[in-house]
Amino acid sequence: MTANEDRDYNLVEGAFQDLLNSIEYKTEEADNQLITRAFQLAKDAHKGVHRKSGEPYITHPIAVAQIVATEIGLGPSSIATALMHDVVEDSDYTLEDIENMFNPNIARLIDGLTKISGVVSMESSMQLENYRKMLLTISDDVRVILIKLADRLHNMRTMQGMPAHKQLKIASETLFIYAPLAHRLGLFRIKTELEDISLKYTEPEMFEDLSNKMEELVNRDFEYLNKFTRTISGELKKAGLKFEVKKRTKSIFSIRRKMRNQQVTFDEVYDKYAIRIILDSKLANEKSDCWKAYSVVTENYSPNPNRLRDWISSPKSNGYESLHSTVMGPEGHWVEVQIRTKRMDDIAENGFAAHWKYKEDSSGSNQLDSWLRRIREFLDNPDNDSEDFIDSFKMNLFSSEIFVFTPRGEMVTLPKGATALDFAFDVHSEVGAHCLGTKVNGKLVPLSSPLKSGDQIEVLTSMKQEPKEDWLSFVKTGKAKQRIRQSLKKEKQLITGQGQMTLERKLKVLKLKSTHSNIQKLVNYFGLKNPDELFYKVGLGVIDNKKLREYARETAGLVNYFKRRIVKSSYAKQKPLSNEAKKDLMLVFGTDEHEMEYTLAKCCNPIPGDRVFGFVTTAEGLKVHRDDCPNAVLLQSRFANRTLKAKWIDKKGTFATINLLIEGMDRMGLVNDVTKVISSELSLNIKAISFAVDDGLFTGQVTIEVADKVALTDTITNIKQLEGISTVSRVGKFD
């Protein structure tokens, strides 16, 4: 064994022994044997593989298992799964091998983790549809995401040596997906660490500045916190309470978020300190002891009445229970005080993992099951697109909650901002669909009325009522939007089918065939997106007999005009057509030739007739580039999935603005000749013009409006024929 191999062996064995030592108090011999077998298999699967840091790869699964065991608090099966989470993906071992060597539960967990790994890799960006698939896996067994969170946490802790662009991408993805999930599952300590590390890479200068300021704050004011806690501790002892007091400062990320959201400086964030009082109480006395401690705190320090948060009477849906109050401490500093029991603190630190060990007597796990069931309901519906899913799920991840009641007094948890109609859909899809009105606290209110915690809602229904399109403008929950869209889609499909039959009948009367070509011409004529939209508007009566007759009358003139355009060789001696008669080129995209909203790229400034393609940008929508654009190779090779086939077709159109650079030998009357060719002979509009002469050499810059490439070619050809002109070239833009 070489020195390096000997070093690696000691590193791996030492790390695994540390893992076993850390769980010694809560595992039996059979558990240790299971975990050891998982370690041996993982070590064999990753043999000879090293991380970019140079350590043996097996150190990563061991570290993930350590987080799963000690920081999240899961049991032996989850620890064994964490050790083997990359085995199926990175080696020849199969799920069948895992199932045969261990058990179906571990195999199922590894299958879920492998699916997520294929969806969210360190090398590829998270896509909306992939996010949907990941959550579908989570809803089968929440331990999958708990282990994945441990995996992400270790990767975040150890990505110092990665290239900066990868650090930025992974950190951004963590803020978008994993930190909110950790928060939703009650893993607040892990959520805070993920956020702080992410900020370190997304805003490094801000992170360093805030880190230094927080360090100065702790060094300067820690004695202040000691003084505060000494006073509180003495009073709590007098009240006969058993407790522990922990002191801390706010996380760097939460400070940064407050500065951004409230548009304040660091010094203006007033509750940078937090004191946590953890009571040793029996289950039956928890609430009374917490309120007793609250009374002790507020008798000694004045509370901010707007900052009381009672999550003991109404726990968060992720199981979080605590009393929060902000009080004015000595020397005029605000201090946030959190009051909870040991059981509540265990849930706050370890989230639903704390419930997992005692699921049969955990009310919190019921809330988790309910949340996961809602995910499953939404994901299983094939009509929901990815954008819908992201919008609704992100709301459930990020928004705070309200607690409202049915007429029978049953509590319902909804996102903050939810309306009376959201409540109706939450009760049942059919109740929401036929909701005629709502009473809140006994008074009739509009369906769009936002609800507040404590409201009691009664829903009035009628079988004649059906979902309306304007409902989508004010409902907030995914369930409500999903059900409304389903109903509207069915109604639209019915009207579209009727409209297609009606259109075929009316075209027959007008002596027109309902061919695919004619239908597409009708779509273009009425400025619609696709044939279905045409059929729908016919079904609604928006496109009636009068409009169809107008189309039929114009058809003959349209055909004759296209014929004239084909035989026309030059714009030079053509009289300009009237605005009504102009038929120019428009762009359609994709194999189905859909009309879409787009802008022309400034780097190559395409005009009608150019060979072009569409590119979907992240910030500015669809951009159109020429095939010979300088950026074309880069866009079509690296981002092929975001490019669209584009094609020009005849339609009423607009002029394109083109820049021409004209060079040659200066002579008397040259400028006049150039403008005469453009304005008089070609009848084109000049938008800007400038000329310069340097030592006998002439340079002109002209911006003109042309209808298409034929006009541009004629313009360039005619100018080149002028005496003294050497080159005429089209440029993207002038400096």
Give pLDDT < 50 ranges for the chain: 119-129, 356-365, 382, 384-387, 389-390, 395, 398, 556-583, 653
Radius of gyration for the chain, computed over Cα atoms and rounded to the nearest angstrom:
35
- Whether 257 and 244 have beta carbons less than 8 Å apart is answered as no
Q: Pick the catalytic residue: 89, 377, 458, 533? A: 89
Q: Is 369 a catalytic residue?
A: no
Q: Count the neighbouring beta carbons within 10 Å of the beta carbon of residue 232.
A: 23
Question: Where in the chain are all domains bearing CATH 1.10.3210.10?
Answer: 3-158
Question: Where in the chain are all domains bearing CATH 3.30.70.260?
Answer: 656-731
CATH T-level assignment (fold) for domain 656-731: Alpha-Beta Plaits (3.30.70)
Task: Return the pLDDT at 367.
Answer: 54
CATH T-level assignment (fold) for domain 3-158: Hypothetical protein af1432 (1.10.3210)
Q: Which residues pair with 591 in a beta bridge?
A: none
Cα–chain center distance at 659: 40
Torsions phi, psi for 193 (to 5 deg): -65, -40
Task: Return the pLDDT at 156.
Answer: 93
Task: Return the pLDDT at 400.
Answer: 63
Q: Which residues pair with 50 in a beta bridge?
A: 56
Task: Return the pLDDT at 132.
Answer: 53
- Whether 53 and 35 have beta carbons less than 8 Å apart is answered as no
Task: Return the pLDDT at 582.
Answer: 31
Q: Which residues pair with 450 in a beta bridge?
A: 419
Q: Is 89 a catalytic residue?
A: yes
- Whether 604 and 629 have beta carbons less than 8 Å apart is answered as yes
Extended beta strands in 250-361, E state: 273-279, 302-303, 309-310, 323-328, 334-341
Q: Pick the catalytic residue: 5, 29, 55, 90? A: 90
- Whether 168 and 201 have beta carbons less than 8 Å apart is answered as yes
Cβ-in-10-Å burial (0-12, 13-18, 19+) of 729 comes to: exposed
Task: Return the pLDDT at 73.
Answer: 80
The hierarchical CATH code for the domain 206-361 is 3.30.460.10
The model carries a pTM of 0.54
- Whether 36 and 47 have beta carbons less than 8 Å apart is answered as no
Task: Return the pLDDT at 575.
Answer: 38
Question: Where in the chain are all domains bearing CATH 3.30.460.10?
Answer: 206-361
- Placement of tokens 């194999």 in the chain: 591
Task: Return the pLDDT at 127.
Answer: 45
Name the 3-class secondary structure at 362: coil
| β-sheet with 622-626: strand ranges across | 584-589, 643-651, 612-616, 622-626, 599-600
